[in-house]
Chain A
Amino acid sequence: MSPSQWIQLLFSGLTSGAIYGLIGLGYVTIYRTSRVVNFAQGSFVMLGALIAFSLLNEAHLPYWAAGLGSVLAVMLISMVMYRVVIAPIIKVSLIAMILGTIGVSLVLENLALIRWGGYGQSLPAFTSGSFDIAGVILPKQSLWIISLTALILVGLYLLANRTFLGKQMTATASNPIAAETCGVYTNRMVLVAFAISAAIAAFSGIAISSINPVSYLSGGVFGLTGFVAAILGGWGSSTGAVVGGLTLGLVEAVAIGLLPAGYKGAVAFILLLLILYLRPSGILGRSAAEGES
């Protein structure tokens, strides 16, 4: 491949990487407040894209309104999921909690199959067109995605460090009982975390669907890749999730350059397993000690 092709490839890797990072941010936001690992995160991504698609093409709303409506709808779904399924199960066991979020994601996926069928749907780019810099074509959508990811990261940082709400959420994460005794309504904080996380996921879904068509099955792939990103960068850290996502996107791009395109789906997991082999303590060090109840 020519150098300009490589640059092109790496740039598109960076774009996917930003999206993986965004999805990873969704996991981290929930985990940081509630210690819940939400395997339904990918379904939120998928629903974000498909609901926006319907609002745009069936309800004929303007693009911005369709996007906003979709984000709000997914936030609502996420909060209902927490109240109805996760909150009761969380006390049973960690395994039940993980299985519960997987169960919810399957329900959402199958509902999406019934509603939208098996075909991939695309949304238009936020603004069409691209920049051509010395033979390298940079789509405007990619720039949108990368800068909005940075913006969301900054927003989350400000939320956590500058707002009273964010501080209460951090307090809830680090010691729920102590937070309660300080007067923090911890249940409400977790609910807020689920809502924020769903909003990020829905937004990532909308952002992706202009590049990759999204079907009911896309949630699984994107969700898992985003999760891998969050782990690669150091589980539990927002910046880590984005860094992990970008790394993953670049590695995938290199793999696409060197290997047949079909191997792309395995890159994230091979990278994950390699990290687990080579630096198990680095990642294990952050996992729960012995989660016995």
Chain B
Amino acid sequence: MSDAGTLLRRRGTLLKAAFAIILIGWPLVYPSQYGMNVMATAGLYALLTISVSLVIGQAGQLSFGHSAFYGIGAYAAALLVVRYDVPSVLALLAGAMASALVALIVGRPVLRLRYFYLALATIGLGQIFTVLVIQLREVTGGWNGLAPIPSLRLFGLPINTYERKYYVVWVVVLLVVLFSQRALNHRTGRSLRALATSEIAASTLGVRTANWKLLAFVVSAGFCGIAGGLFAFNTGAVTPGSFSFSVAVLPVIMMLLGGAETLWGGVLGAIVLTWILNAFSGAAQYSGLIYAVAMVLLLLFLPNGVVQGVNSARVGRLLAFLRGGAPALSGAAVPALESLALGVEREAPRLDGEQITDHTKSERHRPDEPLLIVDDVSVDFGGLRAVNRVSLSVLEGQIVALIGPNGAGKTTLFNVISHLQRPATGSVTFGGTPTAALASASVARLGVARTFQNLRIFANMTVLENVQVGCHRHEHSTLLGDGLGLPRQRREERRSIARALEALRLVGLEGHAGKPAGSLPYGQQRLVEIARALASEPRLLLLDEPAAGLNASERAYLVDRIARIRDAGVTVLLVEHDIDLVMGISDRVNVLDYGVLIASGRPAEVRDDPAVIEAYLGVSQCTESKEATCAARSADGDGEIPLLSVDNLSTSYGPIRALRGVCFEVFEGETVVVLGANGAGKTTLLRTISGVLRPVEGRVVYRGDDITRVATAKIAARGVCQVPEGRQLFPTLSVEDNLVVGTASRRRRGDIGEDLAFVYELFPVLAERRKQTAGSLSGGQQQMLAIGRALMGRPELLLLDEPSMGLAPLLVEHIFETLRSLNKRGLTILMVEQNAELALAMADHAIVLQTGFAAVSGPAAELRNDQRVRECYLGQS
């Protein structure tokens, strides 16, 4: 097995060597001046494509500045030679330096922009360059440009034949490719790809993203500058027309053609497209059309490039050999790598055992002080206080949990600790250092690592590379070391491979190191994220819902791993909804509710705390219980057709199965409530019924019609209206306009006035604020508006998602009272609610979901006293 890896890499090297030999050899075999001329142009495009790949393909920054940098290199070199008689080689290098310098000056502010702002600003650079060149006539020659430019002289040899030009260009191309590709296979490339996927995740691993972006920008400008200089010397003239917008676009198409993943692909893309365009040089007006159409087609059908696009085919495999190196590691290549890493007599500190404890001790200030102190922290989002004066501390070596209902502020608090979110009040102290003034990368460098609730994995990198990004804060090599493979860089790389494999071993994924991270099942991706955080050898590990979306056996495995991580000396702070998991492994549990810390203590204490029970289950606010009206349900036997029937419904978010075979029915006139803890699949269920999500199996039948695949808007038109979770109003529209949009589902809209009057009668406060924008309403009013908006569609079935969330008790009562009266008037209601007591009091029938299954179901009155319902929320005591 281990031979296969070396073999693969050797074949990769061989193919690259073959490519180089063909490039060097064919002019000797077939000395066509035309061919060499085209290839010299292709070589210049290859250089531009490499710079584009660095900035767009790898770092994900949509810059079109390369035509300007190409031009700056060309003009600077030409001017130095023509006007100041500078030796041509020096002028060439000076041109590249000039491009890089300009990039350095404009880079920092421009790279703060994103996407189309960045695209526009960099197109602007090209435009400004052209204008300046045309206007500064005394210096640049204006429209006429500079000519003649003497040819390049290398060691006294004039580069003035097609053959010599060809060789000079391609030697430069090969050197640049080899250098850059090596850098991309190591720390430089990992940092760039990481920040391209997620700047947030990269910065929480200690990657100073702004610096790396600037590095890519400056280096790529330098390469453009070299290409520009070579262009000037090869053609003997520079004019403004040579550096137009098409010079900025063509390399992008070449990169798309070759695939952004490797530079070699881009070089091939440049050669192919240059030849194609030259073939049409007789019909010049068509050449632009050809590359433009090619660009659109490539984006439409092969967004990952031809090289990746036909990966399964023979061509793809052939090109895969070309890639070689770390990114192309297949599973088979890993043992070879591992032995390579193990060869360095264990320089890397081991993550299991005592060494790591020594390591953390050396960083510690005072052993008796808590590792993390959160003091009086508040966070505001607009008018909403998401975290309210929370103070807590975490002792070194413990597993501490943070739990609470949805929207309690847990993730927000995490973001404050890892400094992705600035608190409105209070402070965070880690290991004796206040973090207020630090960037999130600096906090990470202190030893705080984290995972994310919504995975932020670097899906375009291998598992090993992902975890190696975790090693970033312990590494020092940058572009030069990575590109040249200096001995220090090689030692460091071996160390971080060893460290990364160690972290992978700790989560049990060492066998998957060479696979693309995106190809792993969801549960394993979670573990990759944990390993990535571990590889940074943190003192504190923040785990945000690590068990979300995992199945039972994966959960058990995860618990075991978290315990091992603690035993390895890492302090763990955990946000998790799986209460059994939390109670099982935590030393201490903190409970947040509406941003307030309502309990803190050992698991057993917290479980029996009345405040916690209330936060999770709610208190009964309505004493009159609806009599168990099983009448409707018993009509079942009479063959009455249910209004809605959900049959064996399963829904997935990518690899996460959120609903697993749920069945139930709703009869006309009923109120049915769906209960369950966070993450049980309640919202998913409603969204699947309303067509926002598509199930992987099962059916939704409404009034006898299968609506499983019907478009969302059409489902609404049938009378199924939804009050979505979190209201989802249109904040810039007025209250009344929100209501008016609610009628979009109706065929006849002539009598809107009546419906408006009905809603305003139901919620008089909305009538008072009809001209206000929806965004300016309070939470309770927004909820009323959301219900009103749904009612405007004249629903026959109202889907309600957490109508009580985030509202004061009095308002909740008002809203439930309204719902009850609507139900009495014949409106059928299917409601998701976390406040179980309240919901059961008004419902006829209830279903309790647990991790996507319908765990309990029955008449609401019976479930009110059912111990199983409580267990679904708070775990078994």
Contact surface of A with B, Cβ cutoff 8 Å: 37, 39, 85, 88-89, 92-96, 98-100, 102-104, 106-107, 109-111, 113-114, 164, 167-168, 170-171, 174-175, 177-186, 220, 224, 227-228, 231, 260, 262-263, 265-266, 268-270, 272-273, 276-277, 280, 283-284, 287-288, 290-292
Contacts and interface: CB of A to CB of B under 8 A. Distances in A.
Contacts of A231: 117, 120
B295 interface: yes
B456 interface: yes
Q: Which of A183, A228, A266, A269: most chain B Cβ within 10 A?
A: A183
A156 to B, nearest CB: 15
A224 B127 contact: yes
B154 interface: no
A176 to B, nearest CB: 10
Contacts, number: 203
A99 B113 contact: no
Determine which residue in B62, B120, B123 has the highest number of CB atoms from chain A within 10 A of its CB, and name it: B120
> Which of A100, A103, A220, A288 neighbours the largest number of chain B CB atoms within 10 Å of its CB?
A103
A171 B296 contact: no
B130 A181 contact: no
Given A114-B289, A228-B120, A290 B300 contact: no
A109 B112 CA distance: 31
B728 interface: yes
A175 B741 CA distance: 12
A107 B292 contact: yes
B289 A107 contact: yes
Contacts of A270: 128
Interface residues of B, number: 76
B245 interface: yes
B744 to A, nearest CB: 4
B344 interface: no
Given A89-B300, A103-B295, A186-B713, A177 B121 contact: no
Contact of B245 (A98, A103, A107, A220): A220
Contacts of B789: 182
B67 to A, nearest CB: 13
7 contacts: A102-B295, A110-B292, A111-B289, A175-B728, A183-B713, A183-B716, A262-B131
Given A114-B286, A269-B121, A273-B110, 18 more contacts: A85-B299, A95-B60, A95-B115, A98-B115, A100-B300, A106-B288, A107-B289, A113-B289, A114-B289, A171-B741, A179-B744, A182-B793, A183-B743, A231-B117, A266-B128, A268-B124, A272-B121, A283-B117
Contact of B728 (A94, A177, A186): A177
Contacts of B749: 164
B783 to A, nearest CB: 14
A168 B221 CA distance: 45
Contacts of B741: 167-168, 171, 179, 182, 184
Interface stretch (B212-220, B668-676, B732-740, B858-866): B732-740
A267 B742 CA distance: 46
Contact of B712 (A111, A180, A276, A284): A180
A91 B853 CA distance: 31
Contact of A113 (B285, B300, B790): B285
Nearest to B109: A277
Q: Which 5 A-B pairs have the closest CB atoms?
A: A183-B745, A269-B124, A106-B292, A183-B716, A178-B728
Contacts of A287: 113-115, 117
Contacts of B127: 224, 265-266, 269
Contacts of A182: 716, 721, 741-742, 744-745, 789-790, 793
A257 B301 CA distance: 50
Most buried by B among A88, A109, A113, A276: A276
Given A106-B288, A110-B292, A288-B115, A174 B60 contact: no
Contacts of B229: none
Nearest to B720: A181
B731 interface: yes
B58 interface: no
Contacts of A262: 131, 134-135
A174 B180 CA distance: 43
A135 to B, nearest CB: 31
Interface-central residue, A37, A182, A283, by most chain B CB under 10 Å = A182
A contacts with B: majority SS:
helix
B109 A276 contact: yes
Contact of A98 (B119, B128, B131, B733): B119
Nearest to B747: A183
Given A111-B289, A180-B713, A170 B730 contact: yes
A24 B716 CA distance: 35
Nearest to B129: A266
Contact of A100 (B299, B728, B738): B299
A174 B198 CA distance: 24
Interface of B: 56, 60, 62, 106, 109-110, 112-117, 119-121, 123-125, 127-128, 130-132, 134-135, 197-200, 245, 249, 252, 256, 285-286, 288-289, 291-293, 295-296, 299-300, 303, 456, 690-692, 711-713, 716-717, 721-722, 724, 728-733, 737-738, 740-746, 749, 789-790, 793
B131 A106 contact: no
Given A94-B115, A182-B716, A269 B128 contact: yes
Nearest to A291: B115
Contacts of A292: 197-198, 200, 456
Contact of B733 (A167, A185, A277): A167
Given A181-B721, A182-B716, A272 B124 contact: yes
Contacts of A263: 131, 135
Contact of A174 (B109, B125, B131, B730): B730
Given A98-B62, A100-B296, A114-B289, A178 B131 contact: no
Given A88-B300, A100-B299, A260 B135 contact: yes
A106 B245 CA distance: 10
Nearest to A118: B285
B571 to A, nearest CB: 28
Contacts of B117: 231, 276, 283-284, 287
A170 B131 contact: no
Contacts of A228: 120, 124
A42 to B, nearest CB: 11
A179 B132 CA distance: 48
Contact of B62 (A95, A168, A184): A95
A168 B738 CA distance: 9
A85 B299 CA distance: 9
Contacts of B742: 182-183
A284 B60 contact: no
Given A272-B121, A288-B114, A106 B295 contact: yes
Contacts of B299: 85, 89, 92, 96, 99-100, 103
A284 B112 contact: yes
A280 B199 CA distance: 19
A185 B713 contact: yes
